[in-house]
Amino acid sequence: MPETLLCPRNLAFELYEVLDAEGLIQRERFADHSRETFDAALDTARSIAENLFAPHNRKADENEPVYKDGEAILIPEVKPAVEAFLEAGFHNASRSFDEGGMQLPNLLSRACFAHFQAANIGTSSYPMLSMGAAHLIEVFGSDEQKQRFLKPMIEGRFFGTMALTEPHAGSSLSDLRTRAEPAGDGSYRLKGNKIFISGGDHGLSENIVHMVLAKLPDAPPGVKGISLFIVPKYLVNDDGNLGPRNDVVLAGLFHKMGWRGTTSTALNFGDRGECVGYLVGEPHKGLSYMFQMMNDARIGVGMGAIMLGYAGYLYSLDYARERPQGRLPDGKDPSSAQVPIIQHTDVRRMLLTQKAYVEGAFDLGLYAARLVDEEQTAATEDARRTAHELLDLLTPIVKSWPSEFCLKANELAIQILGGHGYTREYPVEQYYRDNRLNPIHEGTHGIQSLDLLGRKLMQNGGAGLRQLLGLIQDTCGRASAFGSLDALRQPLEQLLARLTEVTQALLGDLMAGKVNLALANSALYLKVFGHAVIGWRWLEQAIRAEQGLAKGNAADVEFYRGKLQAARYFLTWEVPGCHHELELLARRDDTCLEMRDSWF
């Protein structure tokens, strides 16, 4: 059977040859683990994903949730899949043993979760959103809130959502209008409307805990006046039992191009004036709490984009091996047999491009997950801090690069399948539709580009950036030991040198207050910076492949050759193409900035 979720050999390469998952076992927190326990968790994830998530991926797409009597009704296959996920404990994969978790490194819990995202992004979203909401309460909630809401979330009885967007406040959260009035008893009464709330209703759990951003009466304007509230669908009594229905109403469902298995809801809070909410942490700090969770959520989105790309790549690869069509340019004898289309160079180009995109992004996504482990469990405070700084810088790339390029991979997968790929009888068109959401939610592409250039580069005095440049140089240094990698290393070094110059110039403009001009072409900057990062990760993979080849294990030779070829593709086909965009950035090109509204 061909691989359909991800390639286990590549996963092992990432975990054990590139990202040193075994090194984590040396740490106290993971001391009870071993490569065997890691692999057992991965096998369980794979098995549940294949057997319970993948089989209803298409059905969920074709039968999107329906609104009925104030509830969202899902197809019946979702619940047993999610229950198996919960029963196996994947929603608590990184939690401590004493909290009922598996105490796995984040690297491993991400790798486990990747299987569910590849198998069925829609169904995987329900636990993912819930894990994000639980994490917020865990870090910022009171003990009582943890007891009342977090505990049943850990037990898998309550699910959660993130309720941020409003009709007039999407990218611009400072403009949200939902209000929260103190009720006098320590609780609050909320009033407002939220849209695009994923998992806002579903019937998969006893209760849904909405994490809602709203403004207190004395809120200062803007982002510093937003508070975070717990608003449960059902109130929870002191004994933990469910109380009456809270005044949160499912106002309707959005009908999306893809990702249809996940309900996207409009929720009305306080239509009857009785919507009870509980303030989390301090007043007016809600958005900063959300932002502290953002790295995690954005890695999650990036991984989702990667896994959709990965699933499409594997499917189109298998198809290209099986499908006979045409003959090679130098073998046009029509009486000869047709060749499998993988033999056509242009089909190989489309497969190699997909491989370079999805495996490059997969490496980065897991690298980011590994940084979370460094952030949390590295031996020294200094190491934990530097990991955090680097992760902060990389987060916009981890979120946005796969959203753009793994979507492109899906586009190529359709193209390889041709007319068949365009039909719903094959899975690749769904991956493409599903993936199109990723450049939009959890901060659009444009927002990510402003975040990177306008904020992250300079954060912590530029420490993250200095660190990244040092790491890339270190990789280049190690690559120079392999003469075979010269042609791969040099384009990266050239890009890095020019990117460094251009970055300094743009930061200079920003510090001089020329914000509009400096940020005008932030989308180009995001693309080039992302290509430099992925180029770096490919050079790192190429080094590991050379090291693997040197070990002389015959069974692995073709795998490593493929890695080297994909690295070559990315570093010689994609990376050098960025110099033109750097040139536009360097000269502060104002073509878009100067375009007038009335000229369109």
HEC secondary structure over 280-335: ECCCCEHHHHHHHHHHHHHHHHHHHHHHHHHHHHHHHHHHHHHCECCCCCCCCCCC
Active site residues: 442
DSSP state of 582: H
Shortest Å distance, C-beta 457 to a second copy: 14
Who's near 17: CB < 8 A, 6+ residues apart? Answer: 544, 547, 548
**Max CA-CA distance within the chain?**
87
User: Cα separation of 368 and 503, whole Å?
Assistant: 22
The H or E element spanning position 275 is strand 275-280
The H or E element spanning position 393 is helix 381-421
| Angle subtended by helix axes 381-421 and 445-454, to nearest 10 | 150
Burial 304-329 (b: 16+ CB within 10 A, else e): bbbbbbbbbbbbbbebbeebeeebee
The DSSP annotation for 132-167 comes to HHHHHHHHHS-HHHIIIIIHHHHTTSEEEEEE--BT
Phi, psi of 67 (to 5 degrees): -85, 125
- For residue 390, CA distances in Å to 42, 263, 300, 462, 468 come to 27, 34, 17, 10, 7
- For residue 238, CA distances in Å to 144, 147, 230, 564 come to 10, 10, 16, 60
Other residues' Cβ atoms within 10 Å of the Cβ of residue 198: 24
| Residues belonging to the chain | 600
Shortest Å distance, C-beta 598 to a second copy: 5
- For residue 210, CA distances in Å to 7, 86, 138, 368 come to 36, 19, 14, 27
Least Cα distance to 5 among 454, 314, 250 occurs for 314
Token pair for 485: 């990698």
Phi, psi of 250 (to 5 degrees): -75, 110
- Contact yes or no for 584/505 (Cβ under 8 A): no
Phi, psi of 209 (to 5 degrees): -105, 105
Decide the pairing of beta strands 207-214 and 227-232. Answer: antiparallel
DSSP, collapsed to helix, strand or coil, labels residue 191 as strand
Phi, psi of 444 (to 5 degrees): -65, 170
Distance of CA 176 to the CA centre of its chain: 25
